[in-house]
A and B are shown apart, each in its own frame.
Chain A
Amino acid sequence: MTSVGLEGNARPGTPGFPVENRKLVGDVVFVAIFGYASYVALDYPSLARTFPLCIGLLATLLSLVNLAIDLNRKLSGAAAVRPPSPKSHLEETIEAEMEDLEALGELEEKVEKTTTRPLDIARAWGWIFGFALATWLVGLVAATALFILTVLKIEARKSYLVAVIGAALATAGVIAFSKFLGVPLPEPAWWPF
């Protein structure tokens, strides 16, 4: 619900995929990426190699440590009995206030509101990739009109009048942006002229 602050985007657990396995997958991805980056950097001339190699090797080492810790935790089953971390005064304050909010019944309502189904997520990505495809096929101006019209009609369930006005405004905005700032917009990629 909240934005993207340093502590704002942690999402506890993904249904059907245990947290420990999720961590291990992430750890292996880290090792692979940093290992690959270090290996590729070996072929660069010295001036170009120094930075990625230093960083890559350091990160490979740290990611291996991370993998070992998480693997050990999973094998020993410690995570299953892991108690809550010792809380700072700040964390206690935050928790206390969030409990107050929960008591108002608001937090539960918000959590319910923000719970998204996989199908909804797939649809959202479908719209985004569809817009990209339409941009490639017919150019940004026509794609904008088409995209706004269909999303407002189908997803937002607006009337045709509202959808058409929305599409017209957005298209006019894109054209005005291009004209006033002299910025070229994506043309149809297949257009031969």
Chain B
Amino acid sequence: MLHVAASALSVLFMPDNFIMLVLGVGIGLMIGIMPGLGGTVGMSILLPFIYGRSPEQAIALLLGMGAVTNSSASFTAILVGVPGTAGSIPTIVDGYPMAQRGEAGRALGAAFFSSMLGGIFGAVTLVALLPIARPIVLALATPELFMMTLLGLAMIGLLVRGSALVGTLMGVLGLVLGAVGGAPGAPVYRYTFDWLYLMNGVPLPIFAMGIFALPEIVDLLAGHRAVSRSRALTGSRWQGIKDVIHNKYLVLRCAILGTFCTMIPGIGGPVADWLSYGMAKQTVKGGTETFGTGDIRGVIAPESSANASEAGNLVPTLLFGIPGSGSMAIFLGALTILGVQVGPSMLDPNANLNLTLVIAWTLVLANVLATAACFSLSGLMSRLSLISGETLMPFVLVIVFTAAYDTTRQWGDLILLLLFGVIGWIMKRMGWPRPPLLIGFVLANAAERYLIVASERYGSEWLLRPGVLAIAAVLVLTLFGSIFREQRRLRRAAAAQ
């Protein structure tokens, strides 16, 4: 194991891979600063650029970007009280009052350092879990994996704010959209409307950019937002590091919470960050009185959990092929594009174990690089947050168009991008959840493959396998349980009236 880990590290330090990592980290830092552009949007924009690259380069670029958006999001969260990503909202609660008190540097120092420690902890946990996870993953056959896919979608649907059923339906809609194009194992093209372009299916990069990136660009262009007012970088960043060392057990507790919570598909980083914040508030000495007024521990807690959650999200993605969040769905799609089969092979020393360790090392190095960059480029990074949406977004749009056309190099790329952009924007305005749609889309191919293999190999008997029945029972109970709870609440409301 150790020599495989050393080999994976040496692969990452090869010039081509390391450049990609640095590029990814740099882009991630900039994306984190821009409110509205989170890790999912960043990954969707970078996805077309992985074509023709090795899996190691693509991993370095995408994960390098995704792993650090939370780090740089602390700039706007602490300096101006505007969250760069959803995960940085808890940081505002204590970080911003600290900045107002003239302790911005201290808050930033604590945020960067605790983010780095959390990220490294998450990566180590990911590797440590491999031997434990291997027998569990190997015990699952295609029927159980198909049911797990449906259960994953239902759980993600349940955890979306609003109607659980709508969230689940969005996931299933993603499955249907993923079925567009050539059918596996049969010479038939499905749902193409006689459009030649669709015969190869809907390209994931186009879908992801349309659903996520274009709606954010429109809202930032239309919002006429100056991201922030200028705020001087005051206070000592070294004091922040000392604070983190002083609160090392808090860092550990929150990193554990962030890593293990996000292993459950659907529990995204932001939820884990709030949980960590709430846990810290309840458990640290005097927390209930001082949290919210500029307590440094209120910055350390969510930041320790934020980057750790990236590794937690990777566990179901790599081992079960079930992405826990929108960005992981894109990452899974990227691995599929590059021909990497996730699941048991990610634990096999003769197959993809090396790639799994490259992923873990990427998380570690990305966090270290991001922290170094955040410390050394604090002034410059703070100024980036002053750029208004209407100045920045035209450049992002050019990148999106260039990236979109690079997908299949047909006009259909741009037409479909605009179409999905409009759909994504309508979904955003209507409050319909978009991540389940993307996750369903990414899972479609694997789900269909599992279903066909299960049907061909076991006939209809696969429906009676104990594992399938158990997962089906959980699926039905969770889905209909949420409906009944909703109905009961309504009846009580009517009775109270």
* Residues in chain A within 8 A of chain B (CB atoms): 1-12, 14, 22-23, 26, 30, 33-34, 37, 40-41, 44-45, 47-48, 50-52, 54-56, 58-59, 62-63, 65-66, 69, 73, 76, 78, 81-83, 85-86, 89-90, 93-94, 96-97, 100-101, 104, 106, 110, 113-114, 116-117, 120-121, 123-125, 127-129, 131-132, 135-136, 140, 144, 147-148, 151-152, 155-156, 158, 166, 170, 173-174, 177, 183-186, 189
Residues of A within 8 A of B41 (CB): 3-4
CB closest residue in chain B, given A122 = B222
- Shortest C-beta distance, B154 to chain A (Å), equals 10
- Shortest C-beta distance, B401 to chain A (Å), equals 7
CB closest residue in chain B, given A25 = B430
Contact A4 B172 (CB under 8 A): no
B78 at interface by CB-CB < 8 Å: no
Residues of B within 8 A of A52 (CB): 176, 179, 190-191
Bound together, the chains give a CA A144 to CA B339 distance in angstroms of 34
B89 at interface by CB-CB < 8 Å: yes
CB closest residue in chain A, given B49 = A181
Find B418's partner among A22, A128, A170, A174 (CB 8 Å cutoff). A128
3 smallest beta-carbon distances between A and B, as pairs: A3-B38, A48-B183, A93-B278
Residues of A within 8 A of B497 (CB): 81
Residues of B within 8 A of A54 (CB): 451
CB closest residue in chain B, given A66 = B165
Residues of A within 8 A of B156 (CB): 6
Bound together, the chains give a CA A58 to CA B150 distance in angstroms of 11
Is chain B's interface secondary structure helix, strand, loop, or mixed overall? helix
Bound together, the chains give a CA A48 to CA B191 distance in angstroms of 11
Find A4's partner among B81, B223, B326, B395 (CB 8 Å cutoff). B326
Contact B402 A100 (CB under 8 A): no
B103 at interface by CB-CB < 8 Å: no
Find B172's partner among A1, A62, A113 (CB 8 Å cutoff). A62
CB closest residue in chain A, given B489 = A85
B256 at interface by CB-CB < 8 Å: no
B281 at interface by CB-CB < 8 Å: yes
Residues of B within 8 A of A3 (CB): 35-41, 84-86, 216
Known: A40-B191, A47-B184. 4 other contacts (CB 8 A): A3-B35, A9-B428, A93-B281, A170-B398
A78-B494, A128-B421 are known contacts. Are A148 and B395 too (CB-CB below 8 A)?
Answer: yes
CB closest residue in chain A, given B221 = A124
- Subset of 28 A-B contacts with CB under 8 Å: A2-B35, A3-B37, A4-B40, A6-B433, A6-B435, A7-B160, A7-B161, A7-B271, A33-B173, A40-B191, A44-B188, A51-B179, A55-B172, A59-B169, A66-B165, A90-B275, A93-B278, A94-B278, A114-B223, A127-B221, A127-B397, A129-B418, A152-B391, A156-B388, A166-B394, A173-B398, A177-B402, A183-B406
CB closest residue in chain A, given B188 = A48
B96 at interface by CB-CB < 8 Å: yes
CB closest residue in chain B, given A92 = B278
Contact B271 A81 (CB under 8 A): no
Bound together, the chains give a CA A54 to CA B463 distance in angstroms of 13
**Residues of B32-59 contacting chain A, CB below 8 A:** 35-41
Bound together, the chains give a CA A120 to CA B225 distance in angstroms of 12
A5-B268, A40-B191, A151-B394 are known contacts. Are A66 and B433 too (CB-CB below 8 A)?
Answer: no
Bound together, the chains give a CA A170 to CA B338 distance in angstroms of 29
- Shortest C-beta distance, B225 to chain A (Å), equals 5
- Shortest C-beta distance, A98 to chain B (Å), equals 8
Contact B277 A7 (CB under 8 A): no
Bound together, the chains give a CA A174 to CA B451 distance in angstroms of 43
CB closest residue in chain B, given A78 = B490
Bound together, the chains give a CA A58 to CA B173 distance in angstroms of 11
* Residues in chain B within 8 A of chain A (CB atoms): 35-41, 81-87, 89-90, 92-93, 96-97, 156, 159-163, 165-166, 168-169, 172-173, 175-176, 179, 183-186, 188, 190-191, 212, 214, 216-219, 221-225, 266, 268-271, 274-275, 277-278, 281, 292, 325-326, 388, 390-391, 394-395, 397-398, 401-402, 405-406, 409, 411, 414, 418, 421-422, 425, 427-436, 447-448, 451-452, 455, 483, 486-487, 489-490, 492-494, 496-497
Contact B165 A62 (CB under 8 A): yes
Contact A128 B292 (CB under 8 A): no
Contact A140 B223 (CB under 8 A): no
CB closest residue in chain A, given B327 = A4
- Shortest C-beta distance, A175 to chain B (Å), equals 11
Residues of A within 8 A of B160 (CB): 6-7, 10
Contact B418 A147 (CB under 8 A): no
Residues of B within 8 A of A82 (CB): 489-490, 493
Contact A131 B397 (CB under 8 A): yes
CB closest residue in chain A, given B388 = A156
Residues of B within 8 A of A9 (CB): 427-428, 431, 433-434
Contact A128 B217 (CB under 8 A): yes
Bound together, the chains give a CA A65 to CA B448 distance in angstroms of 25
Bound together, the chains give a CA A113 to CA B389 distance in angstroms of 12
CB closest residue in chain A, given B69 = A3
Residues of A within 8 A of B402 (CB): 140, 174, 177, 185
Bound together, the chains give a CA A170 to CA B497 distance in angstroms of 61
Residues of B within 8 A of A55 (CB): 172, 175-176, 179
Find B398's partner among A90, A106, A155, A174 (CB 8 Å cutoff). A174
Residue with the greatest number of chain B CB neighbours at <10 A, chosen from A45, A76, A106, A124: A124
- Shortest C-beta distance, A149 to chain B (Å), equals 9
Residues of B within 8 A of A1 (CB): 35-36, 82-83
Contact B447 A51 (CB under 8 A): yes
Contact B451 A8 (CB under 8 A): no
Bound together, the chains give a CA A154 to CA B264 distance in angstroms of 47
Residue with the greatest number of chain B CB neighbours at <10 A, chosen from A86, A104, A148: A104
Bound together, the chains give a CA A41 to CA B184 distance in angstroms of 14
Bound together, the chains give a CA A186 to CA B35 distance in angstroms of 30
- Shortest C-beta distance, B397 to chain A (Å), equals 6
Residue with the greatest number of chain B CB neighbours at <10 A, chosen from A94, A106, A174: A94
Residues of A within 8 A of B90 (CB): 97
